Amino acid sequence: MSHLSTVFFKEIRDNFRDRRTMLSALVFGPLFGPIMFAVLISMTLKQATDSKTQPLELAVIGADYAPNLINYLESEDTEIEPIDLTTDEAVEAVKDGTYELVLIVDEAFGEQWTDARSARVSLVMDNSDSSIARKGRRARGMISGYSRQIGAMRLLARGVDPSVMRPITIDEIDTSTPSGRAGLILGMLSYFLLFAMLAGGMYLAIDTTAGERERGSLEPLLTLPVKRSTLLIGKLLATCLFMSVSLALALIAFAVVLQFMPLQQLGMSVDFGPKQVITAFVVTAPFALIGAALLTVVASFTKTFKEAQSYMNITMLLPTLPIIVAAVNNLRPSLTWMTVPSMSQHLLILDLVKGEPLQPMFVAVSIGSSLIIGTILTLIAIHLYKREGLLG
Amino acid sequence: MIRVQNIKKSFGDVIAVSDVSFTAPDGQITGLLGPNGAGKSTTMRVLYTAIKPEAGQALIDNIDVATQPLDARARLGALPHGAGLYQQLTARENIAYFAAMHGLRGQQAKDRVNEMIDLLEIGDFADRRTKGFSQGQKTKVALARALVHGPQNVILDEPTNGLDVMATRSLRKIIRKLRDQGKCVLFSSHVMQEVAALCDDIVIIAAGAVSMTGSTEDIKQNTGTDDLEDAFVRAITPAGEMLR
């Protein structure tokens, strides 16, 4: 036991003084996710609010034929630019980007309107551009709103209840809470947390095998009257500690970022206070053992620090696989999925940020299976550490 | 006392050591001499149990290194070839780490570390981080680290590699001091003059086997030459065609 703590505290002290390790564990790892997040959310936010608050620019051919409609559109915050083009020219103008949206009012519009027949307009736009498509929807929404309004008035004028036009009325009862929608974006949170952990432990894991060997300190270490398994476990525990610190910092950074993000404007509400931070830590921390052992196993096959580092980058992407599977198949937490590391953490954190209660059973299975798999990987790492080939 | 009996070790198809036997008694410096690739480091690695021999036996104070590696290592201070330090730790911390791993605690550990710093005359830089140390400084710290638990047996694998004359001299002084304290010192080198200047007894290894043992005088006599270099070359010639 005393050997174990000697190794543990030496690794902590040694790595604490290493600038590269500290930057990776305390700065890059934990802050990468929250910063990406802040950028992504503010971009989404900007797009959403832009399209709502800015007036819609609409080029109109034949505006004179439909003064009522134009008045209505202008009252709904639309900037009308009357233009004089043929239909073909309008299509070309939209294709080459001169105009984003062109509304064409047919010559016969006035006549059809006064005859109370269906009057025709055309909307020219490129639907493959999502921001233009959004503007197009807005324009279409306004025009059909006006159309419904006039239709109802015409029916009333003929003594008909406008509701005959709606044999079926659909009432949607939306069960998604605002924070449920937030889950879509916050689905990335779990990977950023796992990434922060792996970044925090990466340099220690490399140092355990490839680093010590390259520096020439491994062989003297092995001449000590201490079991190799003790050495490895001591180093592994130090790696786990660094990973846990990275995780804690990442969670705190997220809590701060989410605090300052005006998520309500996106129709999201995220409650990520101290209680959620602690719960997320408890749920995610057991992954540290898996991560530390996995990184150590990978590093033990490499000869130099540089070689190890290049393999680490690939290893750090591994936890994305179960998360992608979960996201693509829209999986919900179940006992089976709780046995899959990284996926179980992902599903639990997703529920946590959605504000849904976590099932204690699921949490227990997730923690238990992570610890079991982590222990198996640790045994493999110990086995590899005992090989003669370790000396290189 | 260190005793090696007919050890054999190969890595894949390469036979590193085919048959090495010798005894290094207490109160003597025994030199393990041989060209590069002769099997010196492999023999030493077997002694400090980094690798296991396929055949034969290695004993440290009559403890079999294969069956009781922890006990054997406790009686051993080893300086492997090209031993490196922890660069973020100071020289003192490097030595103290090994002291703690040998079970030394508290004041006793501090005293031992200070003794080592005095013995190796490294007080001037003991509290600096070892990053950027010269090869001589590194070797001294690594040796202090290996000796901190006061082992009866000391194994030094090519410790003078990369050292300048002054550093080599002070290292020899320390090694003689250990001998005078009655320790068993096993010292490897590929330089005949180096071994002749220091060792009481010489074991010449060539191509994985012992080709000659004895004092400098014995070896000169056996090879029929007065010149040290010639004697060395003749001693390893029977296996000369396997030289790399």
pLDDT at A266: 64
Check A215 against B82: CB less than 8 A apart. no
Check B70 against A6: CB less than 8 A apart. no
Decide if pLDDT at B239 tops 60.
no
Instruction: Say if CB B225 and CB B216 are below 8 A apart.
Output: no
Q: Under the phi-then-psi rule, with left for phi > 0, alpha for psi from -120 to 50, and beta for the rest, what region is B224?
A: left
Report the share of chain A in percent with pLDDT over 70.
Answer: 92
For residue B32, the surrounding DSSP H or E stretch is: strand B28-33
For residue B155, the surrounding DSSP H or E stretch is: strand B153-157
Report chain A residues whose CB lies below 8 A from the CB of B48: 222-223
3-state secondary structure of B154: strand
Decide if pLDDT at A172 tops 60.
yes
C-alpha atoms less than 13 angstroms from C-alpha of A359 in its C-beta half-sphere: 11
Q: Of A14, A15, A226, which is closest to B101 when you measure between CB atoms?
A: A226
Confidence of residue B240 (pLDDT cuts 50, 70, 90): very low
Decide if pLDDT at A376 tops 70.
yes
pLDDT digits (tens, 9 = 90+) for B124-167: 999 999 999 999 999 999 999 999 999 999 999 999 888 888 88
Lowest mean pLDDT among A130-144, B48-62, B109-123: A130-144
Edge-to-edge strand list for the sheet holding B184-189: B63-64, B55-60, B2-11, B14-24, B209-214, B201-206, B28-33, B184-189, B153-157, B76-79
Counting DSSP H helices and E strands in chain A, the numbers are 18, 4
Mean residue pLDDT of chain B comes to 90
- CA-CA distance, A227 to B20, in Å (whole number)? 27
**Other residues' Cβ atoms within 10 Å of the Cβ of residue A241:** 20
Q: Of A15, A220, A227, which is closest to B145 when you measure between CB atoms?
A: A220
pLDDT at A174: 57
Check A216 against B86: CB less than 8 A apart. no
Instruction: Say if CB B80 and CB A220 are below 8 A apart.
Output: yes
- The residue whose two tokens read 């269906």 is A118
The larger pLDDT score, comparing residue A166 to residue A17, is at: A17
Burial class (CB in 10 A: 0-12, 13-18, 19+), B189: buried
User: Which residues touch B115 (CB under 8 Å, ≥6 apart)?
Assistant: none
Q: What is the 3-state secondary structure (H, E, C) of B111-139?
A: HHHHHHHHHCCCHHHCCCECCCCCHHHHH
Report the predicted TM-score, pTM, of the whole model to 2 decimal places: 0.79
The pLDDT of A139-167, averaged and rounded, is: 86
For an interface test with B, give the residue of A1, A12, A224 to mutate (most B CBs within 10 A): A224
Mean residue pLDDT of chain A comes to 86
pLDDT at B243: 44
Check B70 against A14: CB less than 8 A apart. no
**Encoded tokens for A6:** 């000697």
The larger pLDDT score, comparing residue B203 to residue A184, is at: B203
Decide if pLDDT at B241 tops 60.
no
Report chain A residues whose CB lies below 8 A from the CB of B76: 223
Pairing relationship of beta strands A78-83 and A102-105 according to DSSP bridges: unpaired
Decide if pLDDT at B244 tops 80.
no
The pLDDT of A104-124, averaged and rounded, is: 86
Measured in angstroms, the CA of A49 and the nearest CA of chain B are apart by 52
pLDDT at B61: 95
- CA-CA distance, A325 to A27, in Å (whole number)? 29
Most confident segment among A102-106, A182-186, A328-332, A363-367: A363-367
What ipTM, to 2 d.p.?
Answer: 0.91
Instruction: Say if CB A185 and CB A356 are below 8 A apart.
Output: no
Lowest mean pLDDT among A47-51, A60-64, A106-110, A132-136: A47-51
- CA-CA distance, A62 to A84, in Å (whole number)? 7
Confidence of residue A229 (pLDDT cuts 50, 70, 90): very high
Short-list B67, B81, B69, CA closest to A225: B69
Q: What is the dihedral of CA B35, B37, B43, B48, to 10 degrees?
A: 110
Report the share of chain B in percent with pLDDT over 70.
Answer: 97
- CA-CA distance, A169 to A162, in Å (whole number)? 12
3-state secondary structure of A129: coil
**Encoded tokens for B56:** 């034969």
- CA-CA distance, A211 to B204, in Å (whole number)? 34
pLDDT at A51: 58
pLDDT digits (tens, 9 = 90+) for A292-349: 999 999 998 888 888 898 998 888 888 888 988 888 888 888 889 999 999 999 999 9
Decide if pLDDT at B37 tops 70.
yes
The pLDDT of B15-34, averaged and rounded, is: 93
Residue in B with minimal Cα distance to A221: B98
Q: Does A134 touch chain B (CB under 8 A)?
A: no
Decide if pLDDT at B59 tops 50.
yes
pLDDT at A251: 93
Short-list A178, A188, A183, CA closest to A39: A188
Most confident segment among A20-34, A127-141, B64-78, B209-223: B64-78
Decide if pLDDT at A118 tops 70.
yes
The pLDDT of A85-109, averaged and rounded, is: 87
Strand ranges (E), A238-390: none
**Encoded tokens for A238:** 């130090």
Decide if pLDDT at A179 tops 70.
no
- The residue whose two tokens read 């036009």 is A165
Question: Would you tell me which residues 373-392 of chain A have a C-beta closer than 8 angstroms to some C-beta of chain B?
Answer: 388, 391
The pLDDT of A94-102, averaged and rounded, is: 86
